[in-house]
Structure 1
Amino acid sequence: MPTTTRHADPALAAVRAAETVVREAEVAKLHAVLAWAAEHTIDNEDDVPDRMSFGECPLHLAGRGAPVVEEFAAYDLAAALGLSSESGCAYLGEALELRQRLPRLWAAVTAGRLVVWKARKIARATIALPVEGAAYVDQRLAQAVTKISLVQIRRLVQEAILRFSPQDVKDDQPDRRRVIIDFHLTDTDGNVPVDAVLAAPDAHALEQALRDGAKRLADSGCEDTLDARRSMALGDLARGDQALDLGRGTSVVVHLHQDSRDVGRCETTRSPVTVETIRQWVGSAAKVFLRPVIDLNDTVHVEAYEAPDRLRRQIELRDLTCVFPHCHKPASRCDLDHVCPHSRGGATCTCNLAPLCRRHHRAKTHGAWRYLVEHPGSYRWTVPSGTAYPRDHHGTTPLGPTPALAEP
């Protein structure tokens, strides 16, 4: 058999080089975040620095013994990272946990022996542990840092809880039971994925109910697949085997537009749906409510501080989410903020209202966050560090430092 000579693959060499650059950049980012944190952490919570604003709360992001962080400054860091405030604070908490309470693993990260994403997962798991428990996990994992699996990490953390904080097992150990209905992943046929973790007795009972329901549908002449019939049986269980009663608290709002005869948009799930799906929903509903179409380009103005329902509805449909940089909280769960404060002459109107979730409403009211309406639905934020962030339906775009906006 003839022998072949193997040559170095330049493409693989380029991949390895790029991966090295990415890993080094992740470590450098951690260092930069921790350097920033050194200027914005509070070692003694009783000695709150003067630079903190009224209404601002120190954030406990890492485990016991780690410093706390200035709240509004953390939102500035999250924006610089291109993350939502929640995700940015989580990243900062994991970085503080690594440096403060997991020194061996932190040394492995800086030496390149432990990748950042796995180190962050370990840090996230140890935040709830007492100091001794975190030190135990740090010592055990450091011995096999290059080959530890995520399952082993979880088991070791559970062991640390039993060893060092047994009295907190019932209180601190999260209940894994859950039911998640992800409306954001609704497809054009109106199907929504459901993920659940049940107690074994409940799971067995549900399985039997779905079997019985699927068989009952088949016996009545339904020719859909078994999976489809099981799905329909679950819907029957949710309704108590009754037709969908929109007047009983379960509602689906659908918008039909004159420029499309085939597709509508389900407001409840923020997803497109086919006209055939809409017909099926209407046919299975006990009641159907029609609402007038809201012109999102219309200007609504009222001579009062509180926004009436029709104005709130228009703002929610126009902006969809909190308009703070990188925030995705649904507008329906937000406060309506007067961009130019009402006490300073700001009108209660389409052009001066925007949805802000409660935490970002506080940051704007009590902190140094400022924004202007470039046009309804498009905003320009200036953050305490001076960076500008345009925010519109396309998302958030970080720009370079800009002169601070004047007080409205």
Structure 2
Amino acid sequence: MGELASAIDALGALAADDLFDCSDGDLLDRTRALTRARNMVDAELARTVRRAECAQASEHDGLKSMRPWLRTHARQSGPAITGLIKAGRVQEHLPAVAAACAAGQITADQVEVLAEICTSTALDEAAAAGVDLPAIEAALVAVAVEAPYRDLQKAVGAYLAALDPDGPEPDPTEGRSLSLVQHPDGAFTGGFTLDAVGGEKLATALESIAAKSRCAGDIRTRAQMLGDALVQLADLHLASGELPVLRTVKPHVGVLVGIEDLLDPADGPGAATTGLGAAISAARARMLACDGNVTRIVIGPDSVPMDYGRTHRVVPPHLRRAVELRDQCCVFTGCEAPAWWCDVHHVLHWADGGETCLENSALLCERHHTKVHHGFWVERDPDGRWHTYRPDGTEIVIGVRLLR
């Protein structure tokens, strides 16, 4: 452990280096060296975790496997733990990969790709075909060391496809997966794996929504556009009413908010709770209440519901049809999101005394509905033209206004 302690001390000392005194070349050389060091640390960590797993070392701390030990003692995430355990097994089965890992020549991401050649199915097919696995391994390691990550993915994919070219068509659904993790603040992160056709379907659907939602002055990044498109895709299906029923109730987003917070114009962070337990602001709850179903629930002092009122639709269907016929699309200046993407926004919120009527309604897509509940506002003049104003009171105008 003495050498490991010295290595940790050496890495810790790097934080004292003044990077502002480094030239461009020095910074790039440092990056290369640190990348190699990181690869070596990742490889040794995976090797150690593998040995600890086989020795059931986690029992020393009262845990049945390394997975819960890494989650609690090393504070690792689920995907990181899976990657570590997989990398340790790969190094055990592929000596050339293990040597390249120990030398810091390949990354943990590349090891995950190379792991595909030593699955039980791939090994059985290789043995049946008489494949010289060490030669294949050496060739793929050479690609990993010399070529970009994408090239390694292609090389491994080509090898796996060649193992059984005449075999049955694989079931694309077997390899599909999606993981979602809800964090303490209610936000979600996750990842997914799709086959080529499934991925093409999703990419095409998201691209069509992202392209349609672009508007003048849009400064969102590509990732932000696709994130908004994914939420819009969910909105479209939830609004269709054709999703499977969940325990006698159609799937919907539920929010519990106190009447005082609903009526208070302040943001009120953490004032409302979603069906999945996330805390959201009162402002966000008011936005959802613009165009949704509202149920009165009386809560007793022990937080137990004492009385339920009837659920009623804030914007009835006939009013929505009228608003769609009048506005056609999102009325926020520069946006042309179609009517079926939009909520019916109360210009003066019904909780503040605004009427649920055509004159007090406006079509807004989710993105701009959010903006309107965070300082922007829309107004309709007597001749029927909508105007959009920034929080500072200036109007958003498309094109150049000529001075006379």
Q: TM-score with structure 1 length normalisation?
A: 0.43
Higher relative contact order (CA 8 A, sep 6+): 1
Q: TM-score with structure 2 length normalisation?
A: 0.44
Q: Give 1 or 2 for the bigger CA radius of gyration.
A: 2
Structure with greater proportional helix content: 2
